[in-house]
Structure 1
Amino acid sequence: MGTFIQLVVDGLAMGSVYAALALAIVIVNQSTGLINFAQGGMAVLSGYIAYTFLGWGIPLILAIILAMAVSFVLGAVIERFLIRRFEGGDPDTTVVVTVGLLTLITGVAGWLWSYNNLQFPSLFPADSFPLLGAAVSWRSLGTFLTIAAIMVLLQVLFLKTKVGLALRAVADNPRSSSFSGLPVGRLLMVGWGLAAALGAVAGALVAPRLTLTPGMLDSALVYALAAVILGGASSPIGVVVAAWLIGVLENLGAVYVPFIGHDLKIAVPFILLFIVLLVRPQGLFGRKTVVRV
């Protein structure tokens, strides 16, 4: 029983890492209707920005807040001067642009800060406490609670605030939103800026666990995209629950299913994804899209 609980706790902690990136992807999708494949690279860049502030003697909390502010501006600038040139066109072109942006950001980060593993301090202590036979680290608990709080805040933003409703309206129909008087351009910049700021939080949460490197979120991005599809790109709660589910099932499958083991555990979320999409193509918490013809 203790082993089972330990696997669940560790899965929730790792799932929270996937959820941090997945939430940033949801913000871009809710504000522009696009899937940003460069989100992992933007989060890593934010981590390096925070690391630079730490090198200047700035306290950790303030360094992360400043990194969030810088990332917000960078995200808005990227949307304004790069992504906007392709919005409204062929979606496949935009996908290629975001993949290229991921490669560019990773290369720039490696060029500026090197490809060496850098130690990034954690917001939470590394000590553990016992829970029903399992050892739960304060770092894992803090990451879990942080992601849960962000999930709730984003759900409130998109469903209860004028800014969130405006972002969703722009994503659904930019032309009608413009005719209604909404500042479409500024809202698109805000959406990308918010996603980049959330990426800074993701980078700060992940870097202490994996060490800071340009490619530290490459594999996590794959899981995050799976969580977005599984949970539904329109639901912050859905993608977080899906990310936690992926993390837990991945751990349980590696230990309790002999033919999977640790070598094939990466296949677990995609098997789950395949099964769910056969039943609910919009994801577990996603909304069905009705198209009038």
Structure 2
Amino acid sequence: MIRALPLCLAGFIFANPALADLDLTFPGPATETFAKTEQFGSYKLPVGPYADGFVQTLVAEGQQTTRAWRIAIDVGTSLLVMDNLRQQLEASGFELLYECTTEICGGFDFRFATDVLPEPVMHVDLGDFRYLAAQRLGGPVPEYISLFVSRGGDTAFVQMILVGSPETAALTTKSGDAVAQVTPAVPTAISGSLVAALLRDGHVVLNDLQFETGSSALGGGPFQSLVDLSEYLKANPEFRIALVGHTDAEGSLQGNVSLSRKRAQSVASRLTKEFGIPSRQLEADGVGYLAPRASNLSEEGRTQNRRVEVIVTSTQK
């Protein structure tokens, strides 16, 4: 729940920081996965951690631009990406309002209580993400910006929400020669083994699991995904994962969150009781229909949205 309070990379030089456009240069080849501008938006900007069931926010109003990118960073880290982005924001006149890392932000609860684009346009590793909020004063209206940075394999994921005046909120980005822009597609298959995909991307869907309609009881199996996952967890006892349940958008949010959580817990219970995986390597929760990977307007999309996903929550390999 959110409680609202009313109201990168390289450095740049600006003649008038308070009125200048915002230019960002990414540290590697970047692919824009989402771009949308609303002439007037009202955005609850998080300015504090998740605590006591709430995320403290400020209400930012004005033209709202939401964009997301995937960036090839090789051996770079989410810390490196966020530090460089922060430097560019500060050079352009923005002042930091709040910044946090995974645990300080509030982890799972913070991520799902704030506005984050769904997969595949934006990926947030629940064990490794960073958040920043900043403001820039001096123009016709105050400007506010939030950044989410996370990582999966050798790819960094960046989401930016910028709210301000149309006259001062222009944004340009570049990475080397140019930023490639594509329309992302929902992946229909995973190349290679489940574990290889998990290590590469930081998350993977357990596509072979079966539940009775409206039930949290996991089918009898056997499920190859759990066999493969359990073998890796046994061989790597320091490795930790989160099982996250998802539903389609039919029914109430409260009911779907409860169902998705119980399904994730059923999978965790199976891994513990049948495969002997220590509970310390597992956590389970559900988000209902809050993180779709396809449209809920079609049966095909609803089927894709009903899933249990594995997310890496440890940083050791």
Q: Same fold (TM over 0.5)?
A: no
- Which structure is higher in RCO with an 8 Å CA cutoff and minimum separation 6? 1
TM-score (norm 1): 0.23
Task: Kindly indicate which of the two structures has a greater share of residues assigned to helix.
Answer: 1
